[in-house]
Amino acid sequence: MKKVILASKSPRRLEIMRAHGINPIVMPSNAEEHLPDGIGMEDAVKMLAEQKARATYEAIKSDPSFAQNPDYRDAVIVGSDTIVYKDEILGKPRDYDDAFRMLAALRGTDHNVATGVALIDVNTGKISVLSDVTTVYCKDYSDEQIREYIENGQPYDKAGSYAIQGPFREYIDHYDGDYENVVGLPFYRIESMLK
């Protein structure tokens, strides 16, 4: 398997890679995330994943030690982005009220979690971009349960204000699709590409 450069500072993506026997070089992207108005869910995550992977690729290629650095030789960059979609893209909440609004919208119904992945071969510059979607079904929970969850500081760095692998899992009824996609990286979609 090729060496992997993970263009993300997400501990969840790193954990998924390590669970599959890959210990990537972590080089978080400093890409500015921009989306055009009205973009669809899957197009959005693919675009953001590509922006992140390309920013890391450009940083590597501009590194004066690029040609001599063995970390870069035969490596592939993996950029990824995950969003929650329920009638709109639900990103990371801005504040308490935003988190409450998102979590209230998700209760007792289903929503989609889309992850985009962009892979760039460092040697050739060849890029592959894909996406995966999982449908998540939430239980009906109360306003008080939402407040308690928010007050414990859980939602602030998470798309849609929750993480399926965290305390919010008690409010998940079931899901259709890949669990790791909801966590942040659909590894089964990229495993053969990495090989």
Catalytic machinery residues: 81
C-alpha Rg value of the chain to the nearest Å: 17
**CA-to-CA distance for 131 and 118, rounded, in angstroms?**
9
Contact between residue 159 and residue 82 where contact means Cβ atoms under 8 Å apart: yes
Q: Which residues pair with 78 in a beta bridge?
A: 6, 119
Torsion of CA 115, 121, 122, 124, to 10 degrees: -140
Task: Provide CB contacts within 8 A for 84, sequence distance 6+.
Answer: 90, 102, 106, 111, 112, 113, 159, 160, 162
Helices 96-106/143-151 angle, 10° precision = 140
